[in-house]
Amino acid sequence: MNDFHSVPVNPVADDVTLAPVSGPGAWRGAELTKKPESWTYELSSEQIDELISAVHKVEATAKEIVEVSKADFPLGSWEPLIDRLRQDLYDGRGFALVKGFPVEELTPLQRTLGYFGIGAHFGIAIPQNAKGHLMGHVCDIGVDYASPTGRGYQSNARLPFHTDSADIVGLLCVNNSAEGGESSIVSSVTLYNEMLARRPDLARLLMGPIYRDRQDEIPDGQGPWYVVPVFNPYQGRVFSSYVRSTVRKAARFTDLPPMTPALEEAMDLLDSLAEDPEFHLDMELEAGDIQLLCNHFMLHSRNAFTDPSNTSARRHLLRLHLCSPDGPPLPPVFENLRGYNADKRPQGMVKEGLCYSAPVDPIDGGPGGSAQRMRG
């Protein structure tokens, strides 16, 4: 069916016993909504001052943003917080909210540098798209999300629950919108358990081959589509990968198996469970909030939004996709997403000659982008 590298995926045999997964990652939103103090952290004045100082020191060196490493960006007073956040992400609930990033005290360039520097303490920024962006801008620039190559983060459309292609997904809220745009997250571990309890037959389908469209963002050595199950049991945990729009768009490839009614039913159930207030957790991100998610155990979504007429006040978030060398071992099939690096971690969009950049402006990279690291 293809002549490019792909880890094979087979249907789950009927005689394979499936069991629910327990632990702090199997949470319910209705419970955590009542306990925001258990997943929210507030930066201290000392931590804010140290962040600003680190920004100024790196800025004075004229070092390119994409070259900034953990060593370049010391955050000594942050170490206990970073250790706790790592535990939350990989061995706890899988998410956290950090409040207090000083967006108003920093220029756009300084904000980008500061957020990139924080990210370096959690992992390595990986390219998020075919343009090599190591820093993404979640902002409405008029893209049609329904088009074959439309990317939801560049529109104001509602984004259904989905995963990204990284170990950690981080969002820094620079501006909130005038109306809408609330963020929602849901434990994919809980969704797996719930589907096993209600419809184990449909859960099995989501553990078999699911074909997806790359939307014309094709890494070296790969083809225009790929195959990865939604639910992936591995070493006692269940890892998830789900973007329904890419499954739907894969219908344009006539050499792939057609969508079946049973698979549609399975995804309908998954979506309806994720939308249930019993399971998901809503967050209204404010300026200075950093939302951190372990992408492997979490689905996230966003409500549609309306920006104010003043474009300088429009909804705007900075996004990092990070690979973390100390993250959990990943299922081999996840290599089909965009490939693994030498440490068997997500490598993001990799193409020969691709110039990596950390754009400061949200309009397609825009002016002031830092593009100094080239592959090849």
Q: What is the pLDDT of residue 263?
A: 96
Measuring CA to CA, which residue among 289, 319, 345, 284 is closest to residue 119?
Answer: 319
Rounded distance between C-alpha atoms, residue 185 and residue 311, angstroms: 27
Sheet containing 298-302, strands listed edge to edge, beginning at the edge strand earlier in sequence? 159-162, 298-302, 183-187, 281-283
DSSP state of 288: T
Q: What is the DSSP string of 23-62?
A: STTS--HHHHTT-GGGTEEE--HHHHHHHHHHHHHHHHHT
SS (H, E, C) 88-141: HHHHCCCEEEEECCCHHHCCHHHHHHHHHHHHCCCCEECCCCCCCECCEEECCC
Q: What is the pLDDT of residue 317?
A: 94
- Length of the chain counted residue by residue: 376
DSSP-derived 3-state class of residue 153: helix
DSSP state of 160: E
Measuring CA to CA, which residue among 347, 361, 290 is closest to residue 137?
Answer: 361
Rounded distance between C-alpha atoms, residue 45 and residue 260, angstroms: 55
State both tokens at 106.
């920093």
Rounded distance between C-alpha atoms, residue 223 and residue 216, angstroms: 9
User: Which tens digits make up the pLDDT trace of 220-252?
Assistant: 788 899 999 999 999 999 999 999 999 999 999
Q: What is the pLDDT of residue 215?
A: 85
Burial class (CB in 10 A: 0-12, 13-18, 19+), 327: buried
Q: What is the pLDDT of residue 140?
A: 61
Q: What is the pLDDT of residue 373?
A: 39
Instruction: Indicate the pTM of the whole model.
Output: 0.91
Rounded distance between C-alpha atoms, residue 307 and residue 141, angstroms: 11
Paired with 79 in beta bridges are none
Residue with tokens 């004045």: 45
37-65 b/e (C-beta count within 10 Å ≥ 16 → b): eebebebeeebbebbeebbeebbeeebbb
State both tokens at 366.
């825009």
Q: What is the pLDDT of residue 141?
A: 64
Rounded distance between C-alpha atoms, residue 101 and residue 15, angstroms: 51
Could you read off the pLDDT tens digit of each residue along the chain, which spans 376 residues? 555 567 888 888 777 789 999 999 999 999 999 999 999 999 999 999 999 999 999 999 999 999 999 999 999 999 999 999 999 999 999 999 999 999 999 999 999 999 999 999 999 999 998 889 999 998 866 665 666 555 666 667 678 999 999 999 999 999 987 776 789 999 999 999 999 999 999 999 999 999 999 988 888 788 899 999 999 999 999 999 999 999 999 999 999 999 999 999 999 999 999 999 999 999 999 999 999 999 999 999 998 767 777 767 788 899 999 999 999 999 999 999 888 888 899 998 888 888 999 999 886 543 333 434 333 3
Domains identified in the chain and CATH numbers: 39-374 (3.60.130.10)
Q: What is the DSSP string of 257-324?
A: PPPPHHHHHHHHHHHHHHHSTTT-EEE---TT-EEEEEGGGEEEEE--EE--SSGGGS-EEEEEEEE-
DSSP-derived 3-state class of residue 216: coil
Q: What is the pLDDT of residue 143?
A: 60
Q: What is the pLDDT of residue 367?
A: 32
Measuring CA to CA, which residue among 321, 375, 364 is closest to residue 346?
Answer: 321
State both tokens at 139.
């902002």
- How many CA atoms does the CB half-sphere of 221 hold within 13 Å? 12
Rounded distance between C-alpha atoms, residue 90 and residue 109, angstroms: 30
Residue 286 amino acid letter: E
User: Which tens digits make up the pLDDT trace of 319-359?
Assistant: 999 999 999 999 999 999 888 888 899 998 888 888 999 99
Q: What is the pLDDT of residue 220?
A: 79
Residue 76 amino acid letter: G
Q: What is the pLDDT of residue 217?
A: 83
Residue with tokens 């990139």: 116
